[in-house]
Structures are given as structure tokens and as C-alpha cells.
Structure 1
Amino acid sequence: MKQRVLKVHDSDNVLVALTDLKKGENISFNGDTYTLQNDVAAKHKFLTADLKAGDSIFMYGVLVGKAQEALAKGSLITTGNIKHASSDFTTGERKTNWVKPDVSKFADRTFNGFHRKDGSVGTANYWLVIPMVFCENRNLQVLQQALVNDLGYGRNVTYQNQSQQLIELYKSGKSVEDILQADIETDYSKQKSQRLFKNVSGVKFLTHEGGCGGTRQDAQALCALLAGYITHPNVAGATIMSLGCQNAQVSILQEEIQKRIPDFDKPLFILEQQRVGKESDFLSLALKQTFAGLIEANKVERKPAPLSKLCIGLECGGSDGFSGISANPAIGYTSDLLVALGGSVILSEFPELCGVEQNLSDRCVTTEGAERFSHLMRTYNQKAIAVGSGFDMNPSPGNIKDGLITDAIKSAGAAKKGGTSPVVDVLDYTERVTKPGLNLLCTPGNDVESTTAEVASGANIVLFTTGLGTPTGNPITPVAKLSSNTALFDKMRDIIDINTGSIIEGEETIQQAGERILEYVIGVASGDIEVAAVQHGQDDFIPWKRGISL
């Protein structure tokens, strides 16, 4: 008989419903029986003991909430009867011993990537066109129209035939009701012609709303982020378009590039509109220089590289009550496999590490790293509290509806993405990964802001888990989407790449799923598999202005 409930950790006093359960049912688990006091939907939790007001609730072995009233064994926990709570933390002692997974089947494996002179290896080979300020966004759009389709990089699914069918229905006198119920055909053919430059993955345009106004710190952070993209192993070179008078000066960008790669030698074309003059001359020059850069970029070909050259960003968005027991621990095991092979992984989204700080702090290989992690977490949370928020306000309505009713529950499950390996470095926003192993990166919980940051820090693949579904992608790094449940995978198969609902259904272990995911990563890194976000041209890019974003 299929398992109906799950206890995540021996010390937990809640059970997770793996399927819908009804009030009055007697649920047996590990020799104990619980009479349900409420209906319990799949992904939600019920208590395994009577609680008094103020008693602690534990899940994943950590404090996740406090009862707000007396609650009977078998009661559903909700936002109405418990509140977020988490344990305080200290820098503590170093607990960096871990049991490395068996990586014998991957020990001699390679992927085919683009080798850079600084020793890094890309999983793609993009050319970037970047504005230093939002004033240049329209010029980027003009270049995009001139370059993308003619060079063979157009990917847009066309719905024009649908609009034409609707126009004909309207002209024929059909009513609004008839039009809404009409069976119109969708053309799923992709606007994809033969690429002129076969070794160039595409030309990407990083439009944004920054570069001027705001604070000088905003401009500095933006330049650091853009430098992370320009120096990224997935990037062959870049065209920079500057107005000239903005806060985000080209000189700041150049300084940030030098910080990351002192002997930077990729093609980099910098154009300043106020210096060139006429817009037509400015755009013609940008077009010619970009085309020349693409000729150079096309000379780089894929060659074998060890898996230690992979840097995986670990991300989640639209999480549900199954995320922390299927998709997240599955990529956590993938993370451990890669770390054991000498690769790098990035765990970010600091508001979603609330409640597990002690575990992560203890895993830092140095006291300095633990202290930095503590400082970044406390400072971030205090800034949120100062504007009337706080990490406890992180869960979204969708999270809550699907079982993540406190930030600590959400965070304890989200942290599973980081596996069990030691934390080798703690990075602030835009800082570059320089050490193999698990790196903590300070970013918001907002999935696009966080993914944008992970890539700037060096992620050449991103594994993105979701329980509710999201199309999130990135301009230069493939973002593979993993569903926590099979129902989501079946419903949104066009944007989901991997299903881990098999873990919930008892068909696969976390370890088996983790190995399967690493096999998939190797295929993506080699260019043999194109993830859905790349197929759809999902190029999400949102810089963080270091304000309060949860």
C-alpha cells in the first residue's frame, strides 16, 4: 500500500500528508495512530502530540513555529493556529566532517564546454549587448531587431495565426460568447533559421532599469553585477552601450572587471552615445563591432572538460509542501556529488535560510566564514524589520496554500538544496565564486533576482525546483526546472524539465534522483540537451538594488 504520510526527521512533532486525508480518519505511522481533527490536504501537516499555547513545533529537526492556542493531536497546523518561530544562532563550533557520496560512476566523466583563458569553462558561448543605463534600452531593442532573427537566433513561438482567426470571426459577425468558445488553432512552429555562427549560442541583450538615479551604491552594485556577466565563462565577449553622463560609469565597470579577471582579454567594445553623436552613427558602429565580435566568438569550439569545472546554482521558486522532501533534497544530493567531484555549488536566497542558520554556520570551514554569514543574515533581517517587514513575511500566498505556512518551514526545506557538504565560502551579492565546494551567496528570496545573482557569481548551470510552476530562465545560463510533484510535471510539461515526484510516489530514492539529475546536467552542459527556458527564450534578468526584497 502506498505510504500516505511522512515524518521528515525523528524529532519532528508533525507528519506530512502525501495525499488528501479526511477528518476522522485514523492514520497509523510507525506503530502510533492519529485521529485527524481536520481535513488535511496533501502537502500540509498535522500534529503528532497535544500542544499548549506557546509550545514549539518542529519539522526537519528544527524549530519552525509556536502554537497560538491549545491544539489536539491530529490537528492541522495553519497560519491561524501557529506562528513563525526559529531558534537563535551563534558562530558555534566547526562541524565540517561529512560523508561523501560514492562518485565512482562519475569519476572519469567529462562535459563538452567552451574553455576560457582564465581556466574557466562555459556551458554556452553567448555574446552580450549591455546598456550602462536605462536610457540605452531602446537602442538595444533596435540592435536586437537587426541581429537576432537574421543571425538565426529567433525562437519566438508565433500566435499570429490565432489573432488572424479571431479577426475573421469578428468580421463574420460572431458574438463575444462565440469568440470565447471558438476552437482556434495554435502554430507551435518556432522562428528558428540556420545559424550563421554555429559556435555562438546567441546574442543576449541585458536591458534593465538602473544606471542612474538611486544611490551611488546602486550604480556600483549594478556595475559589479554586469562585470560578473561579462567575465562569466558562458560569455565570449560584449558590446557596452553608454550614454555618458550616468552614475554607472564605464570606468567603474572596468574596475569591477579587473577585480574578477586582472588579465581580462575577451573582446569588449565600449561605445558612448554622447561622444559619438548621431544615433544612426552610434547604432551603425555598435552593429559593426558586435558583428566583428561574433566572428571572433565563433572560433571557440566545445572541448572535453572535467566535471570539476561545473558551477551549479541552486534555486527554488513557487515552492510547495513537497519541495523540501523531493526536489530540494534531490538536487542537494546532486550538489554533494558535484562537490565530491571537485565542482562548485551556490546556495543563495538568504531570507529562505531563516531557522537553519545554526546548521549552516556550523558547516562553515572557518570561523570567519561563520561570522560573515551571521552578519549578513542579521543585517538583512534587521533592515527588513526596520521597514515593517522581516524574514517571517517571506512565504507567498501560493506557498501558504500549498503547505509552507511559516518562513521557517519554507526555509528548512529550501536549505535542503545545499546538501550536506561543508561551506567553503560566504559571499556577498555580486562576489565571484573562487573556491570549489558549497558557497553561500547573499541574495533576496525573489527567484529571478537570486538567479540573476547566482549567474553573476559564476553559475554555469542553474537547477531550479518548483512545486507550483514557473517559467524562470536566464539570458546566458541554462536554468533546468524540476517539479516537486508529478501532477505539476504533467500539467506544465512545456516549462518543466525534470520530475522528482517519483520520490513522493516511492518509485525512486533521493540518491537515485540526484544521480539522474547529474546525468541531465552533463547533457545540458555539453549542449546535447536544451532546457525549456532556453527553448522559450526566457531571459529573466533583474538586478537587486540592495533594498528590502524578500
Structure 2
Amino acid sequence: METKQNVLKIHEKDNVIVALTDLKKGDKITFENHVYELQNDISAKHKFVTETLAEGDPVYMYGVLVGKAKKEILKGDIISTTNLIHDTEKYGVNSSEEKEVWQAPDVSKFVNKTFNGYHRADRKVGTENNWLIIPLVFCQNRNVEVLKQALVEKLGYGKKQHLGLDVDALINDYKSGVSAEAMLDKNILKDGEDTSKNLLFPNVDGVKFLTHDGGCGGATSDAITLCNLLAGYINNPNVAGATVLSLGCQHAQASILQDALGKMADANNKPVYILEQQQSVSEKELLAEAVKKTFVGLMEANKIERKPANLSKLVIGLECGGSDGFSGISANPTLGYVSDLIVGLGGATVLSEFPELNGVEQELINRCTSTEKAKKFSHIMSTYNSKAEALGAAFSMNPSPGNIKDGLITDAIKSAGAAKKGGTSPVQDVLDYTEQVVTSGLNLLCTPGNDVESTTGLAGSGCNVILFTTGLGTPTGNPITPVVKVSTNSTLFNKMGDIIDFNTGSIIEGSKTIEQAGEELLDFVIEVASGKQTKARQLRQDDFIPWKRGMSL
């Protein structure tokens, strides 16, 4: 990757150059002994072509095919949705291809470092110690909310207000006849108030409530998938146990959840209380029993204390959302370097969002350690894309309006940058949605590109920390797994520092290398794994959306 002046060329094969700052029409950019006169104003994060392209000519970025010209594009012209269309290379599995020996980065700075986590019976280690209250079907969401109202404040898990909103002032003004215009000019921000109390159970990080809209009325396959996902949440090393509420007649039967738990070693050693409303005398009796069993479970969970653990016990999810044209240059490669460090230390990392691997399939296939894993990845990708196409939403339609506005013109451009989160290490395992991480090294996990559905899947497969890059800003969090938000640029970090934890904008500015940022990020991860609260945790951002792969009936 070569940088010069205010532009960057990522790979020698590329025929586009990235603007690192805003450039003006008529500017003459000298790069690699060539002069490019810009045909348009080009905002930072966008790209211009290095040669005149005819209709149908390929466009390369990150060294891979990312699109083809819809019409002639003049040398120095910006690429956009008006002149570029998504295109990717074909991919396939070649079992005879010889694998290169991977060279791990220097991990000497980290070999003796540890994090303070919760050690489980199956030798996994949690970065948090949470208790779950779970409905098997949406009919139980109200009861879960009642339990939340009964337990959260009394146990000391009340929300810590970092930003006060003085609604009382508006109410008083309204009663006094103050005009709407005056109200709009009024400052209602005030110092936040800490409404949390001393925790009754100091070794329990939280009681988490996983309400959802599934469990019945849709495809039976979705109900089974939901039970597998919930079992994965209970199995996650960040969870001590669970209280499960069932109506009784729904598709997502308690027996399906129990079967899924039976296949997971750690879950068998955790208390799981399942209560069925249709077998209870009354709703009040159901709720009373749920409160008592939850309280007893919390007493047991509180006996576990944080103790030092090797970094090989980290299982790190790799996620992006609200991506921009810098994502594949700064934040995503930084996560990739962290991934390589963790793999080198014997830990596990998980790259998700399969629609955002469209166009880099061959690279990942070539990195698979076995033909079996390569075929599984290829099959999942082709099946997923075919189903998406049948529904009128192929992978090529993946970029959001925000992505496009900030330089990600095609899904292939977005994917080539997104794949950088996976670093360079071999792919040790390929997992379908809800399958558990059981192998150290880099894992690929099939999830959709939707931020929350994907982070939900990462936690459900066993990640005890999630790294989440963003170029546009997003408050996404997860109920059981801390989500570390990483910005791609300093402007975003300075503007939305209340929801973002770590900045890689220094890479764009040239003051830090990817390797330096990666080592600093891993140090931050160690702090989070030891109990430091992320911004999403401070804001109680507990997003949980199961992925529905079937249809409603």
C-alpha cells in the first residue's frame, strides 16, 4: 500500500486511486511518475480512475475485481453509481492447490499478558458474568418486561444516566403557556444523574433480557434456529445461567432448546430454569417463581470471581457497520492485524457478514485449511446469494445509501474492504449460523450484513468480545458480549466520541501504522476483557435481533 500527497493506491494491480482529502476539479495529481488531471470534484474517501476506461472494462481495487464500467470513464474521472456497476471474479474450490505457510506477526509483546475473566467448567473464560432472562416466544415479552421492572433497579442494575434531559422543564413551561417556539429554543440538557445503586451481586455484570418477535407463526425452521441461537447465548462463556419463559404451545418448544443445550458442554454445567405459563396456576404465580429462581441463580453466579486468563481464551468477533470509504484502509486492516495477533497467541477470531465477502470468495477459499471447509464456504455463499436473488435482493444490492455516499460504490468494493477484518491467517473453520466456535484460529461465520443480526449471531456462536468498525457511526451493542466500537476516521471519533471507543483515523493522517494501531487496540481489548466498560455498555445498548431465514405462514 503506497501513499503520496493526499491520495493512496492500495494495490499495484488497482486502476483506481483513493482521495484521502477533498480534491478539486482541475487539480493535477502527480503519483508514481504519472499526472492525473481531475475531471470532477472528488470528496475524501472517493476514487478516480488511472486510465480511460471503455464500457465493460474492469475496475480493480484491493487487487481484486470490484466492478465494470457502465460507460466510458475518462482518466482522472470519479467512479460513481452512474458509471460503475458491480462485478466480481468467479470462484471455485481447487483441492490440489498448494497452501502457503502462514507467518504469524511478532506477538512477543503479548505472550505474557493476561486478562481477568470468569473461568467456566469447560475451561472457557468469560469477559463478563451475566444472567439471562429469555422468552421462547414473543407472547412472553410482556412477562419478561415485568421481570425487568421488578429486578433491575432492586438489584442495582439501574441505568447510569450520562446525559440528563430535563423534560420537567418543558412540562412546567407548557403549563405556564410558553410558546412552542420558545420551547424549541430552550436548553434542556443537564448534568446526568447516576440512578444505579450498589450491586447486590458485585460479581454479576448484568441481568439481560432477550425479548424478540419470534418463536411462533413463522417457518418451523426459524423456530428451531431461534432455539439454537438461545442455546448458544446460554453456552457463551459470558453467561452464568438463564431463566426461560415459555407459553407452552409455540413452535419454539422448550424440548428443542433443551436438545440444543444438550449438545453444548458448557451449558450442561449452568443452571437453566424453564417455566411454562400454560402449566402455571396464574401469571402472578409464574412471575413469582421466575423471580425466586432467578434470585437463587444469581446467588450462585455471584460466587465466581474474575481471575487471570491467557489471551488464547479470547474469542473475538470481527464486525463492521456504517462503513465508509476509509473502512478498508484504516479500521478494518487494524482489526485484521488484531486477528492475526490473537491467532498467533492461540486464540480464536470470527469473521461474519457473508454478503460482505462477495467478490473475495476465492481468496478465502484459498486460505481454508481443508477442501471440506472450502466447499462448505463455497456452498453457503452460493446458496445464500441464490436465495437472496430469488427474493429480489442479491448481494450486489448490499451497499446502503450511506455506504455509497461515502465512497463504497459497489458491493465488491465494500466486500474487499470488509474482508480486511479477517487479516491474513488461514481459515481454520467455516460455521453456519448458530454453529459454535470450537476451533482456535480464524473462523468464518455465516450471518447477514445487518449489523445487529450479525452481532447477535457472533455472540450466539461464542464470541466473548466483539470488535466493530464504523465510518459513519452506529450505537450498536450486545446484551452479553462487550462491543468495542472502532472509528475509521478522526472526524467521526471527535463528533461521536460518546458512542465510539477507539480511533484509527491516525492511519489516514499518517501518524500511525496499522501495526501500531493494532497493538494499541489489542491492549484496549485486554482492558475490556478484564471489566472496562465500553461506550455501548455505559449506554446499556443491548441490541438483540435473531436472523429469520425462512418465511412467515
User: Displacement of 1:325 after TM fit?
Assistant: 0.1
Any idea what SS the aligned residue of 2:259 has?
Answer: helix
Alignment of 1:87-486 (within 5 A): 87-92=89-94, 93-157=97-161, 162-261=166-265, 264-486=268-490
User: Displacement of 1:203 after TM fit?
Assistant: 0.3
| Inter-partner Cα distance in structure 2 for 1:56 and 1:233 | 46
- Name stretches of at least 5 consecutive residues in structure 2 with no aligned partner: none
User: Displacement of 1:215 after TM fit?
Assistant: 1.2
Any idea what SS the aligned residue of 2:383 has?
Answer: helix
For the 8 Å contact 2:130–2:239, the answer to whether it is kept is yes
| Inter-partner Cα distance in structure 1 for 2:149 and 2:248 | 24
In structure 1, the partner of 2:538 is 535
User: Displacement of 1:183 after TM fit?
Assistant: 2.1
- What's the CA shift string for 1:451-473, capped at 9, x where partnerless? 00011111000000000000000
Aligned letter for 1:40?
I
Q: Tell which deviates more after alignment, 395-404 or 258-267.
A: 258-267
Aligned partner (choices 523, 528, 548) of residue 524 of structure 1 = 528
| Inter-partner Cα distance in structure 2 for 1:99 and 1:4 | 32
* Aligned pairs, number: 547
Confirm whether residue 26 of structure 1 aligns to residue 28 of structure 2. yes
In structure 1, the partner of 2:504 is 500
Any idea what SS the aligned residue of 2:387 has?
Answer: helix
| Inter-partner Cα distance in structure 2 for 1:486 and 1:95 | 38
The 3 A distance-change label for structure 1 pair 174 and 94 is farther
For the 8 Å contact 2:164–2:193, the answer to whether it is kept is no
| Inter-partner Cα distance in structure 2 for 1:392 and 1:507 | 35
Any idea what SS the aligned residue of 2:166 has?
Answer: helix
| Inter-partner Cα distance in structure 2 for 1:263 and 1:451 | 21
Alignment of 1:33-44 (within 5 A): 33-44=35-46
Aligned letter for 1:148?
V
Aligned partner (choices 535, 542, 547) of residue 544 of structure 1 = 547
| Inter-partner Cα distance in structure 2 for 1:215 and 1:414 | 31
Alignment of 1:70-81 (within 5 A): 70-81=72-83
Aligned letter for 1:353?
L
| Inter-partner Cα distance in structure 2 for 1:427 and 1:303 | 30
- What's the CA shift string for 1:300-334, capped at 9, x where partnerless? 00111100000000000000000000000001000
Any idea what SS the aligned residue of 2:428 has?
Answer: strand
| Percent of residue pairs identical | 64
Aligned letter for 1:79?
T
| Inter-partner Cα distance in structure 1 for 2:336 and 2:197 | 38
- What's the CA shift string for 1:132-155, capped at 9, x where partnerless? 110100000000001111111111
Runs of 4+ aligned residues of structure 1 deviating over 4 Å after TM superposition are 158-161
Any idea what SS the aligned residue of 1:260 has?
Answer: coil
Aligned letter for 1:109?
K
In structure 2, the partner of 1:509 is 513
- Name stretches of at least 5 consecutive residues in structure 1 with no aligned partner: none
For the 8 Å contact 1:346–1:439, the answer to whether it is kept is yes
| Inter-partner Cα distance in structure 1 for 2:434 and 2:390 | 24
Any idea what SS the aligned residue of 2:67 has?
Answer: strand
User: Displacement of 1:226 after TM fit?
Assistant: 0.2
Aligned letter for 2:18?
V
For the 8 Å contact 1:112–1:526, the answer to whether it is kept is yes
| Inter-partner Cα distance in structure 2 for 1:310 and 1:75 | 45
For the 8 Å contact 1:373–1:426, the answer to whether it is kept is yes
In structure 2, the partner of 1:85 is 87
| Inter-partner Cα distance in structure 1 for 2:163 and 2:37 | 52
Aligned letter for 2:506?
S
Aligned letter for 1:260?
M
User: Displacement of 1:175 after TM fit?
Assistant: 1.7
| Inter-partner Cα distance in structure 2 for 1:45 and 1:263 | 49
Aligned letter for 1:437?
G
| Inter-partner Cα distance in structure 2 for 1:222 and 1:263 | 16
Aligned letter for 1:298?
N
For the 8 Å contact 1:426–1:441, the answer to whether it is kept is yes
- What's the CA shift string for 1:6-64, capped at 9, x where partnerless? 00111000000000000000011122110000000000000011111100000000000
Q: Tell which deviates more after alignment, 230-239 or 26-35.
A: 26-35
| Inter-partner Cα distance in structure 2 for 1:137 and 1:455 | 21
| Inter-partner Cα distance in structure 2 for 1:460 and 1:309 | 9
| Inter-partner Cα distance in structure 2 for 1:373 and 1:96 | 19
Task: Please tell me the root mean square deviation across aligned C-alpha atoms, in Å.
Answer: 1.3
Any idea what SS the aligned residue of 1:168 has?
Answer: helix
| Inter-partner Cα distance in structure 2 for 1:89 and 1:31 | 35
Any idea what SS the aligned residue of 2:381 has?
Answer: helix
- What's the CA shift string for 1:405-459, capped at 9, x where partnerless? 1000000000000000000000000000000000000110001000000111110
- What's the CA shift string for 1:366-388, capped at 9, x where partnerless? 00000000000000000011112
- What's the CA shift string for 1:213-271, capped at 9, x where partnerless? 11110111000000000111000010011111111111100110111227711111111
For the 8 Å contact 1:43–1:321, the answer to whether it is kept is yes
User: Displacement of 1:160 after TM fit?
Assistant: 7.2
Any idea what SS the aligned residue of 2:389 has?
Answer: helix
| Inter-partner Cα distance in structure 2 for 1:28 and 1:172 | 66
| Inter-partner Cα distance in structure 1 for 2:365 and 2:44 | 33
User: Displacement of 1:547 after TM fit?
Assistant: 4.5
Any idea what SS the aligned residue of 1:323 has?
Answer: coil
| Inter-partner Cα distance in structure 2 for 1:374 and 1:158 | 46
TM-score for both structures, normalised by structure 1: 0.98
